[in-house]
Each structure stands twice: as C-alpha cells, then as structure tokens.
Structure 1
Amino acid sequence: MLSVVPMRAETSDKAEIVTQLTFGECYEVVARDGNWLQLQLAADGYRGWIDMKQHTPVSAEYYWEWSQAKHPRALDLVQVVRNADVRIPVGLGCYLPFFDGASIRVNEERYQYDGRASDPAEIATPAQLLQVANSFLKAPYLWGGKSIFGIDCSGFTQLVFGICGYQLPRDANQQVNHGEEVHFVAQAQPGDLAYFSNPEGRITHVGLVLEGQQIMHAHGEVRIDTLDHNGIYNAARKRYSHNLRIIKRIHF
C-alpha cells in the first residue's frame, strides 16, 4: 500500500501517466505483461498500467465489500495511517476504507487514522464544495495527477466532487456528460463546472465556478482566474488561456 502510484498508458516507466492510484482505492487486474499489470479502478472504471512491485492484492470478498460501500475521504493535507509495523502517509482526498472513527480496514488488517474525514452520508452544499476546493490552491499541475502534490484539471474536479460524495468520471470530456446545462455565464453559480474546448471542438479543460465570475482550475497550479463568455482570462499574462464551451450544474 502506497500513498500514490502512477498508472501509465503503456508498460514502461517512460510512458505517459494517465492517472494515479491513491491510497485506499480498489481495482481489478485485467491484464499482465511481464512485470506490468493493467488495472481497472473500481470507482471510475479508468484503466492504466502499474509496476507489479506497487501492487497490493486484496481478497475477492474485500473487493466486493469495498465496491458496495461509500467510504470517507481524508480531509487533512497529509496524515498517516499506522499499525504496530508500518506508517503510511495519506493525502487529501484519499479513501479511508471502512473507517469507524478511529481506524480503517484493508483486507483483514486495521490501521489507526487520527485525522479528519468526510462523511459520505452527508449531502454537500456548494459552500462545502468550495471549502474543499480551496484546500487545493497552489497544488502544482501534473498531467495525470490526482493528489495534492500534483494534479491535472479533471483530477482536481474529480477529487473535489469525490470528497463531497459525487463520483465524476476521470477525464474532462467524460465529466461534461454529467449535470444540467447552464446557458449563460451570468447564470452560473458557485460549484458549477465550466468546460473548455480546443480549436477542434474537443473538451480539454474543466474548472470550478466561484463567486463573482471567477474560476478555480489546474493550469500550471491550482489557481483562480476570471471567467466570462469567452473563457478564462489570465490577468497576469493579459490573455485568454481557454475558450469556454459549456457550463454544467451537478445536483447532489
């Protein structure tokens, strides 16, 4: 069990990172190629390859239990889970499987956790969503990243909504299929998701709408910029960085 593991597009340490496996997640092994395993994540169905040295097997019974439950997520930037033999760092948004208020369970092993945790039974408000999002400000951009120490645009929105109890798909062009369309920027509300397209019309970027026509998004870092009907305006660079395509509102 590790804090974060890169999942790659191909069976090479030089291959593109397509996403990350974070502590507490469950997955199926769907293929093997030498020392590489192809995984399918239980939460969002995403696939990628990991080095088998970073594989932690669990029982079929545990995997089924994990898949049927809603798990709390870590709310501290960095904490640890521990038992008598090991201490494992866990970051903001990591799953806390079968957390009982004091410990988590992985397979039959229990590990103590003393940090803050989300309540998966609670229905999140826009204010809570933005509070979680603010915890990621200044997190560095990383293509395929899904942690406080490196995150991409859709990893950011997926993680924020996941902490608040709503499972989004991994990529922006998948996330755009969720929610109800908001027709005008002036009608957007805090917590809405704004999507942006490239010159070919493909959705390539996503960010979280804030108050006052601002947007929080991962672009070099998790940052706040201005949003208008054209797109995202970067005041420091005095230019638009992304072209607005559509705004969607998620109903919890």
Structure 2
Amino acid sequence: MYGICNLSIVPLRIEPSDASEMVNQLVFGEHFEVIEKDKKWSKIKLAYDGYEGFIDNKQYVTISENVFGDLNAQEKYYAGELIDFITDNNNQLTTIPLGAHLPFYQNSKLHINHTNYLYEGKVNTKKMNKAAIVETAFMFLNVPYLWGGKTPFGIDCSGFTQTVYKLCGHHLLRDAKQQATQGDVLSFIEESEPGDLAFFDNEEGVITHVGIIMNDYNIIHAHGKVRIDKLDHSGIYNVDTQQHSHKLRVIKKMI
C-alpha cells in the first residue's frame, strides 16, 4: 500500500499517538510506502530518504503502486517560495511551504489522483552549484528551531541542511548522524568551501548537530533559530554568548 501527503505540513511521530514525539514532518506532495495500518495510524517509510514513523490516517490519501513508481521515476519539482498556495478543482486554497513536492508538475499544473492543482510560484528542479547552497540557506535565517521540523515555520539542524540541499537538487539523508555517513571527509577547516557541511558530536561521541559552512569561517545552522556563528577548530563559537556551543567532529564535502 502507498500514500501521499495532500496537506501543507504533517507530523511524523515515533509512536502511533498524538502525544508521541514528532521526529520528522511530511510536506505537501511527499509520497511513501505504508508498512502497517490500523484504524487510526499508519506506519510509513518515506520514498525520499527512507525515514520511518507514524502518520494519522486522516492526513494522507492512498495512491496506487503504479503512481508510486511514476513519482519515483519522474523529475523532481519543489516549491521555491518561502510560503505560497495551490488551488484545486473547487478553487480551494492549500498553503504549501518552501520545499513542498509538486507531483507530476507541468506548466503550473500538478495533480494527486483525480485532484488537479494550480501553482504559479517559483519552482526548483535543476541541480545547482555549491554557491547556491549558502544562498538558499539564507532563506531560512531566523526560522525558529523545532525538533523534527523541516519548514520555514520551524526546523531542526538536519532538517535545515536536508531541505537546503534538496532545493538545490542534491540528496541528503534526514538525521545529522545519517548525513555524516555521506560525502568525503576534509582534514582541515581550511580545505572547506562554502556549502560544505560541518558535523558536531556530544560527550559520548554521537553526532548530534550539523551546519552549513560559509565564507570567512562562518557557519549557518539551526540552534534556537537558524543563525550565523563563527566556526573554528574547536567547534561553533556563539557570537551572542561568546562561548562555544558545539564541538567539531568532522567536515564533509557533499558536492
């Protein structure tokens, strides 16, 4: 069984309960495989990054296996506006955030099953160069931190890096420790370029944070909000508190 998100932003939870921790979000147009389903909840696996969790049955629609396969095979289109809306057959509006998927997009039109939509905003579809990574990251500046979030209304550190890279046509996994398995290791900060990723670990050595390297040893990352701080050989130096907030583990070149 397969499904697709037909709402703006939907929580993906670690357990089948409204009170359960939100570990991720689905944005409009994201499709997935349904692994298990009961009366109220479905356990799903996202097609984009393989992430698993529970979603309320009322917050998605089912699609056929053929449609699921077509969505996997089609060229990817993403909403490029910070916030915008689509209009359906009945002229009803649905807001969509930056990074929303646009299934079967062509000439401002898209569709989910038999519902057609019109979207007239900016569309991201092509692979962009490294310079576009930092430029895109700036769109999220001052977005509040939200555990499990990946939209301009709230975002976590790895949701931020994944969404920025996605909008530029490059694929990252969801969590910081997963993203740290991708790309090529750089030995020194001096080898890094704007758009590379820096990863940070906790006292147990587990990678728990990630940010995007900028020019002049700056880093943009989600910590309280999406903010710009200094990066040195020890880690992130918070320009407001005048203290180090994260311990550097590794720098990686993704593209």
TM-score, scaled relative to structure 2: 0.95
- CA distance in 2 between counterparts of 1:28 and 1:88 reads 23
CA distance in 2, matches of 1:137, 1:43: 25
AA paired with 1:248? K
Residue 101 in structure 1 maps to residue 107 in structure 2: yes
Q: Which residue of 2 aligns with 1:22?
A: 27
RMSD: 1.1
Q: Deviations over 1:105-161 (max 9, x none)?
A: 212432110000012xx3311221111111011111000001110110000000011
Alignment correspondent of 1:88: 94
State the distance in 2 between where 1:135 and 1:101 align.
25
Q: Contact (CA 8 Å) 1:11, 1:33: kept in 2 or not?
A: no
Which residue among 220, 231, 238 is the counterpart of 1:216?
220
**Comparing 28-37 and 131-140, the one that deviates more:** 28-37
Task: Work out whether 1:240 is the aligned partner of 2:244.
Answer: yes
Give the partner amino acid of 1:89: T
Residue 45 in structure 1 maps to residue 42 in structure 2: no
Q: Secondary structure at the match of 1:61?
A: helix
Does residue 56 (structure 1) correspond to residue 61 (structure 2)? The answer is yes
Q: Where do 1:99-248 residues align within 5 Å?
A: 99-119=105-125, 122-248=126-252
Q: What amino acid maps onto 1:159 in structure 2? A: T
Any unmatched runs of 5+ in structure 2? 1-5
Within-5 A mapping of 1:72-87: 72-85=77-90, 86-87=92-93
Report how far residue 189 of structure 1 moved. 0.7
* Gapped regions of structure 1 (runs ≥ 5): none
Partner Cα separation in structure 2 for residue 101 and residue 139 of structure 1: 31
Q: Is the 8 A contact 2:133 2:168 kept in 1?
A: yes
Aligned length: 249
- Which piece of structure 1 moves more, 166-175 or 68-77? 68-77
How far is the alpha carbon of 1:34 from its aligned partner? 3.5
Is 1:71 the counterpart of 2:115? The answer is no
Higher strand residue share: 2
- SS of the aligned residue for 1:97 comes to coil
